[in-house]
Structure 1
């Protein structure tokens, strides 16, 4: 996910006695507004809690619930009433309140410590660790009790957060960007390991696909809540104790140290508190995604930079949203229950988009600061290792970037070798020499049939999808000037995946290939329109992209949960990114698309390189920034959508390919061709590794790239050059 650190604002007129560099306190009207909103949220919360106690199975209305609570006429002696209210509804309501408050506080704390309004609890790898713990318990140890799920979910969540803290602080203290990137990398590895276990265990997948939707339906009695209440209390205590240090940390590390605080210790304490709160919430209700982001975002709109009021409002908003979603989950699909995480996404995504579109978004650092400040000074680039050469023929001349050309030729040679090795993998009767001949149609007819008919079709599909993903990532990263900016940020991958699943209907296994680009286009159109159009809009497009991804992910989860186990298992492999069953026919649309879109991308790249400078500089050079952004965005959407339609959402290729190609081609070029070749190489190599790593078991290509992508993310982006590119 794209990450930007927002620097603390410096007031033009400091109040007497104020700390230099500190943001001005909000005016009294703003403070009163915050407390008024808190009072209103508390009142709404009480109403929602009453509804939660009054709605559900058992035909027990509000009057009888009130009788039980007040013990009027000995109502608590009624065994049926005690079962419905005392053992089911009351524990469920209290759990919803505490889990919602915990996720809200965790989201607000994480956003504050990373100085990033897009941060959410999944960034610390907590959800991924909990998922891995549950899958290990089911697939490896055969655990079948809810208490066992709880224990392993909590243990996995804590383990993930400890690893993130160790990674983030490995070089003398974890900065906000290191904390976020470390969490993203650890989460990616844990998700990949989870997928490895799930795709090879139908029983584990059956339990996992229900648990991952998130639900409060399994809350019965007070046992589970009583066990985790001390952990929740400790997490809330950490949040309370870190309020003042976080306020100082917002001024910058140097000023925080001058005020007697220790930034590294503060971040570690916040991470520990967030871990305790989120791990408990996941253990109680499953991974309810998006709620931490939404609650912190809404609270920041009202409270601004005041950490104490922000934390309180986030707790109230989180509790209200989850309790209200749980009530709706019981009534929208009676007599069944809808997944609560889907309801949260359906409620939260439009609310988040409305906030982004409002005038309050300026208070959240969602506008582009470049409009009001001069662009930062660019560091001088090191001289290219190989100068460009000019080819002339009469009045025509062509400038050939020698280093980029040599890099592309080298990548093409390595790619050819990878194709031969992939065609050879699994064919013990053929040596590499015979395989190489068979690739080009020479040698024994049986060898040629075996390689070209049954192996190369899959390889060609991987080449086409990888090239499309690499090129799409190159365009979006250059467009956003951010190495973390990939098509996933705009909801492209999730939109394309949801469209393919919807087009599959109920009987078929896979949908039509054209549904991928269509879904990607719909997703990006919604994001563009909801965010107010293209252009330099800071984090606004990214926020709407996250909301779109949450909605599309909900559609994917529901579609998977409603299918039979066999159908859902096959589709789950595809949604992890797989080339199984892919052939020439499926690869043809992507190849045709590449033949059309690569030349267009080469033309756009020349103008896109100019956008590395300020928009005013680009305009003075005759480049229209708006048109270039639109063209590049449409190109990347089409490419990513085609790739998803072929092999599903293969992760990290769009991130890694442009980074590797850029290192090879040099900083002065937009590595369009190199990114396409690198993407194709990564997919082919990952598919080969997935086929030969475990004998008799095939690991989907998307799982291999996810497991290997986490360490790659750390290696590339946590170095000095990587930090400069995402700051």
Structure 2
């Protein structure tokens, strides 16, 4: 997950705002902001504790073995010789009690870790996968399965913990260079390393059916394999150390909320605080992932709900987050044993089904509005620096013929021509790459139907049809990303933030499940699912005009629900079918041809002119709404039209090749660097997106002899280093 703009979340430390900020972090004696009174905390914490004890008791009483509440009570209290009963000792002592304690500790660890991350990054949407811990753990488990042949729960635990520590260690190393571990650098480094580790995991999984069969069960998260206290006992010291770090860092982290300068004035060292927090989060999350698998969304949910209940006083938020995380995971584990008897449902799916409605209800409440997170962002437009020298390529040319005139920006035109030439080269090389030894000249002739008929058949029938599908999908993703980033005024924004990719993916998989042929012919389900996801998100959030966190929170909740649906579909299918579906969910052009690309090309023919027509208004939207209205634009209308265009384009792309990552993020950034910052690079983004997908597909086909890497996996692996290069460079602050 990518964080929102740092300038909308960071806390100012100016003198006129200091009293208010002291109230926010609970330093002064006034009630906390967000409508939370400190007098409520003595009642809130006992209530949460009581609810947690009831859930723990329920967990002990439900499960296999036909042991009821009275038998459990006798065993716990040692009455009537219950502890000498072999059956009770097995069911309660070896199965239910260790499982319940593991759920409590893992849930508390994820809740506290999520709360710490939200505090240190000053981002209420941060979650425990932010430091790449989940991706690193997944990579460790897959590596152990595929390369080392490991197949035991203890081996998975060791590999998951080692991978999680490796990933978070690299994040800390990268974020600490030249930036002192600032919140934005932690976010970007975590996203980049998470992307790279996730892509590497997919490379191994798509080439090993055995690894995928074991991985697809582990990655869903489950407590079913907990037997005895062995694994929990080994990781208890690590968990306790993580909780101790959270306790010790609470006060310095509260001071850090006042700003780095004020924290230094109070005797703290912000880089050291952030590093210690990251270490504590790593210990807690790595242990939790090793014990129960990568349970996403729980850290976000617990930290967010704790903020709404306990306000901004960090010690109280940490306690509430730990209790809420433990309670939610325990409730989800109980539900997982009941809803699909005699089998067990994945606990991460249950967490998403429980947490998403809670988040949606929370952001629709008045309490959420009182926290200030739903307020419109008051952002001043950044001044555009004047060019130092006016060169030929930096100027403009006015073309006029009668009443019609056209202003041509020479640098942007030159960039488009260069990108078009590079795209042509990429197409020729992609058509040439393959098993047959065909030179570039023969390939170029075969594209136009000349030369040997076998060359023409191989190029036009098989390779070129796939290339056309990739071009259409890449152009759609590039344009969708450009529209989204311009609307959000944020180079990190993509349609994924509104649940578009996950909604489209779930819709296509559902259509495949109900299809008699079981194929991917129902390309139309992609844009339909994306449209449904956005309609739900915008309706629940109160419209596209919401500029605060409300739309993002609802989008994350929708993504969690759609991802849960996708996981259920994959888990219920046979291994062969699930393997092919998994490859598609990573983004693949395998078997895609003209029959799928043609509808998308027709859609582009209709949508691209409309996007170009509103391009002028997009330039104006870079200013605030008042300035845009005074220049003749209608911000609300333009924003709605552009968002619908982005959704339709992203949905069409998913219908072709699945959710290909990185392209919608990178294409506008590259196009903007080439064409200059004065214009919205719509055409350039389309060309860059098409080129990226074409090149990635070519690399995936030729990288490993005898096997193919999905295009989405290639873009994900390359996306991490690109994100670090673009956003962690010397001038990153001017480009975010």
Q: TM-score range by the shorter chain?
A: over 0.9
Equivalent position of 2:551 in the other structure: 541
The C-alpha deviation readout for 1:442-481, integer Å capped at 9, x for no partner, is 2233322221111100000000000000000000000000
Paired with 1:94 and 1:420, the residues of 2 have a C-alpha distance of: 60
**1:103-145: per-residue Cα shift (whole Å, max 9, x none)?**
0000000000000001001010000000000000100000011
Equivalence for 1:244: 251
1:658 Cα shift?
0.3
Report if the CA contact (8 A) 2:483-2:642 is conserved: yes
Q: Is the 8 A contact 1:215 1:339 kept in 2?
A: yes
Aligned CA distance change for structure 1 residues 274 and 370 (closer, same or farther; 3 Å): closer
Alignment of 1:29-178 (within 5 A): 30-178=37-185
Q: Which residue of 1 aligns with 2:629?
A: 619
What CA distance in whole angstroms lies between the structure 1 residues aligned with 2:572 and 2:21? 62
In structure 1, distance between residues paired with 2:473 and 2:632: 34
Match of 2:233 among 203, 226, 234: 226
Mapped pair 1:470 → 2:470:
no
Cα deviation per residue 1:331-360 (whole Å; 9 max; x = unaligned)? 111111111111110110111111111222
Within the candidate set 694, 717, 722, 2:727 is matched to 717
Q: Please state if 1:375 is matched with 2:386.
A: no
SS at match of 2:614: helix
In 2, Cα distance between equivalents of 1:15 and 1:527 = 36
Task: Give the C-alpha shift of residue 18 in structure 1.
Answer: 7.0
Indicate the SS of the match to 1:171: coil
After superposing the two structures, state which structure 1 stretch, 711-720 or 261-270, moved more. Answer: 711-720
The 3-state SS of whatever aligns with 2:399 is strand
Instruction: Tell me, yes or no, if the aligned pair for 2:21 and 2:258 is still in contact at 8 Å.
Output: no
Q: Deviations over 1:6-29 (max 9, x none)?
A: 122569687699799997554287
Per mean C-alpha deviation after superposition, the further-off stretch among 422-431 and 513-522 is: 422-431
Greater shift, 185-194 or 447-456, is seen at 447-456
Aligned to 2:536: 526
| Counterparts of 2:109 and 2:211, CA distance in 1 | 28
Alpha-carbon distance in structure 1 between the residues aligned to 2:26 and 2:387: 37
Is 1:679 matched with 2:695?
no
The answer to whether 1:495 aligns with 2:503 is yes
> Which residue in 2 is equivalent to 1:435?
443
Distance 1:363 1:434 in 2: 67
Question: Does 1:642 pair with 2:652?
Answer: yes
Is the 2:472–2:653 contact (alpha carbons within 8 Å) kept by the matching residues of 1? yes
Q: Which residue of 1 aligns with 2:300?
A: 293
The within-5 A match list for 1:217-366 is 217-366=224-373
- SS of 1:582's equivalent in the other structure is coil
Q: Please give the secondary structure, in 2, of the residue aligned with 1:399.
A: strand
2:599 aligned counterpart, secondary structure: helix
Distance 1:708 1:546 in 2: 24
3-state SS of the aligned residue for 1:120? Answer: coil
2:494 paired residue number: 486
Instruction: Tell me if structure 1 keeps the 8 A contact 2:25–2:254.
Output: no
| Partners of 1:9 and 1:23 within 8 A in 2 | no
Indicate which of 200, 205, 210 corresponds to 1:198: 205
Q: CA deviation at 1:538?
A: 1.5
Closer, same or farther: CA 381–45 of 1 in aligned 2, 3 Å: farther
SS of the residue 2:592 aligns to = coil
d(CA) in 2 for partners of 1:560, 1:486: 25
Q: Which whole-Å CA distance do the structure 1 matches of 2:511 and 2:286 have between them?
A: 36
Instruction: Decide which of 508, 512, 515 is 1:504's aligned counterpart.
Output: 512
Change (3 A) 1:510 1:395: closer
Q: Distance in 2 between matches of 1:407 and 1:342?
A: 46
Partner of 2:610: 600
Whether the 8 Å CA contact 1:500–1:511 is kept in 2: the answer is: no
Query: Which residue is equivalent to 2:582?
Result: 572
Partner of 2:129: helix, strand, or coil? helix
8 Å CA contact 1:134–1:149 kept in 2: the answer is yes
Pairwise CA distance, 1:32:
1.7
Larger deviation, residues 305-314 vs 716-725: 716-725
* Distance in 2, Cα, partners of 1:423 & 1:365: 54
After the TM superposition, which of the residue ranges 173-182 and 386-395 deviates more from structure 2? 386-395
Question: Cα 1:179–1:432, aligned 2, differ >3 Å: closer, same or farther?
Answer: same
**How far apart, CA to CA, are the structure 2 residues paired with 1:46 and 1:26?**
32
| Equivalent residue number for residue 3 of structure 1 | 4
CA contact (8 A) 1:381 1:667 kept: no
- Residues 22 and 40 (structure 1), Cα distance of their counterparts in 2 relative to 1, 3 Å cut: closer
Aligned mates of 1:535, 1:165 — CA distance in 2: 37
Q: Give the deviation of 1:4 after TM superposition.
A: 2.7
Counterpart in the other structure of 1:632:
642
Q: Once the 2 structures are TM-superposed, how far is the Cα of residue 427 of structure 1 from its aligned partner?
A: 4.7
CA distance in 1, matches of 2:18, 2:421: 62
Deviations 1:468-502 (A, max 9, x none): 00000000000000011101111100000000000
Give the conservation status (yes or no) of the 8 Å contact 1:2–1:542. no
The structure-2 alpha-carbon separation of the partners of 1:450 and 1:162, relative to structure 1 and needing over 3 Å to count, comes to same
Structure 1 residues 25 and 561 mapped into 2: Cα distance closer, same or farther (>3 Å)?
farther
Moved more, 717-726 or 499-508: 717-726
Q: Give the CA deviation at 1:516.
A: 0.1
CA distance in 2, matches of 1:574, 1:21: 46
Q: Distance in 1 between matches of 2:267 and 2:376?
A: 31
Q: Is the 8 A contact 1:690 1:704 kept in 2?
A: yes
Q: In 1, distance between residues paired with 2:86 and 2:671?
A: 69
Are the aligned partners of 2:586 and 2:659 in contact in 1 as well (CA < 8 Å)? Answer: yes
Gap runs ≥5 in structure 2? none
In 2, Cα distance between the equivalents of 1:19 and 1:3?
A: 24
User: 2: distance between equivalents of 1:630 and 1:21?
Assistant: 37
**Alpha-carbon contact 2:25-2:257 (below 8 Å) kept:** no
Q: Per the alignment, do residues 147 and 723 of structure 1 end up closer, same or farther by CA in structure 2, a change over 3 Å counting? A: same
- Determine the structure 1 residue equivalent to 2:527: 517
Matched, 1:456 2:464: yes
Contact 2:41 2:310 in 1 (8 A): yes
What is the alpha-carbon distance in structure 1 between the residues aligned to residue 343 and residue 662 of structure 2? Answer: 37
Q: Which residue of 1 aligns with 2:222?
A: 215
Matched pairs, number: 724
Aligned match of 2:561 in 541, 546, 551?
A: 551
TM-score by length of 2: 0.96
SS at match of 1:455: helix
